[in-house]
Amino acid sequence: DVPGATATLTAGSGAHDVALCSLLIAEELIALGDSRAALDELGPRIPQLDRASELAPHDAQLLVDRGSALSVLGRAHAAQREWELARTCFERSLTLLRPVLEADPRNVLAWLYRAKVALALGRAIEAHNALDDAIKAGARETATSARTMACAPFCCSILARSRASTAVARSARARSRVN
């Protein structure tokens, strides 16, 4: 049994907040270049989030949080050049986010993480489309949560990288047509 993986790890619970804090800390550690510390921080939280989702399989917020955590874990593995582990995390993240978005296409955070994961997998157009969907979903919301607002810098960085990747892909296609 995983320590801390109890029924109390539901969205909004103290244990859930600890898992979210670990997620944010791991993201910051990756940004600072310490991906090993990010793995140490976030790694133990994944089984907790997995167990919580088993106990509450229809909790969309837990699915988004698991997908988010796997996205960050994948980035940490990629920074360690652990490519297969990274790809596995990214693919699992997309798998978790898919039903959330099918059930609630207005879930801005799920769209943002889907964009980030797609970009990490080298799927620039998919990332750009997911980001467009996030923007559309956000425009439909009447009240924007603080958590969604906290994603704004992250959203901008995805858009910038997506546009750069898309421009590179278009340029390569144009060169291939000329040759």
What are 72-85's pLDDT values in tens digits? 999 999 999 999 99
Beta strands in 80-145 (DSSP E): none
Closest Cα to residue 48, out of 32, 70, 29?
70
Find the Cα–Cα–Cα–Cα dihedral 50, 144, 27, 31, rounded to 10°. 160
What are 63-75's pLDDT values in tens digits? 888 898 999 999 9
What is the pTM (predicted TM-score) of this model? 0.69
Q: What is the spatial distance between Cα 23 and Cα 10, in angstroms, rounded to a whole number? A: 16
**Gyration radius from the chain CA atoms:** 17
